[in-house]
């Protein structure tokens, strides 16, 4: 049972991308699409949201548990976390994961938001957008998360903010994938 908390504006494209990746496993996966309860999306038809997404309040009230939860990014990185209209509810999601989710994976802004919430590591605005296919290093080849990955890989990057290596390490968080050009990419 995998939940996808989709914060991206183009919900259908994002859910399809994740569904294709998750569907490539030989395991039988039950994918549940989740949305913020009070936030109304402007870029996806209300009929689609009603048919395929459950509000977080409903998921929380049901008491159900998940093997994994993916929290996507969102194109709001220029905002302070606390200025995001659904920040209070998102912090409830983060806290709820501690007792209802086996493993949580934050992608892009979602990952930065998790690190801020749990460890108070700041995000920093970049002077220029980090963009392109960037060479990264696997710093933890023995990690179960990186089993089968090469020591050197090219990863697409597109962001206006970063979390700095020294601050992540000071919080005691292992950096698993890193780039000398764009910094940490995968943090445990």
Q: List per-residue pLDDT tens for the chain, 188 residues long.
A: 999 999 999 999 999 999 999 999 999 999 999 999 987 788 777 898 899 999 999 999 999 999 999 999 999 999 999 999 999 999 999 999 999 999 999 999 999 999 999 999 999 999 999 999 999 999 999 999 999 999 999 999 999 999 999 999 999 999 999 999 999 999 99
Cβ–Cβ < 8 Å for 125, 131:
no
Enumerate long-range contacts of 184-188, CB under 8 Å, 24 or more apart: 185/136, 185/155, 185/157, 186/145, 186/146, 187/111, 187/115, 187/163, 188/140, 188/143, 188/145
**For residue 140, what pLDDT is reported?**
97
Q: pTM for the whole thing? A: 0.93
């Amino acid at each position: 049972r995998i939940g996808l908390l989709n914060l991206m504006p183009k919900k259908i494209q994002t859910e399809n991308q994740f569904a294709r990746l998750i569907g490539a496993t030989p395991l039988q996966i039950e994918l549940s699409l989740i949305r913020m309860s009070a936030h109304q999306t402007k870029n996806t038809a209300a009929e689609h949201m009603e048919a395929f997404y459950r509000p977080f309040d409903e998921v929380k009230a049901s008491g159900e548990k998940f093997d994994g939860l993916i929290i996507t990014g969102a194109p709001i990185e220029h905002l302070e976390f606390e200025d995001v209209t659904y920040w209070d509810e998102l912090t409830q999601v983060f806290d709820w994961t501690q007792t209802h989710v086996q493993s949580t994976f934050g992608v892009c802004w979602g990952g930065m938001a998790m690190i801020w919430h749990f460890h108070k590591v700041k995000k920093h605005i970049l002077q220029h957008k980090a963009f392109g296919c960037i060479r990264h290093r696997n710093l933890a080849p023995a990690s179960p998360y990186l089993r089968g990955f090469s020591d050197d890989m090219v990863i697409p990057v597109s962001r206006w903010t970063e979390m700095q290596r020294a601050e992540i390490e000071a919080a005691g968080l292992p950096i698993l994938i890193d780039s000398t050009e764009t910094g940490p990419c995968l943090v445990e």
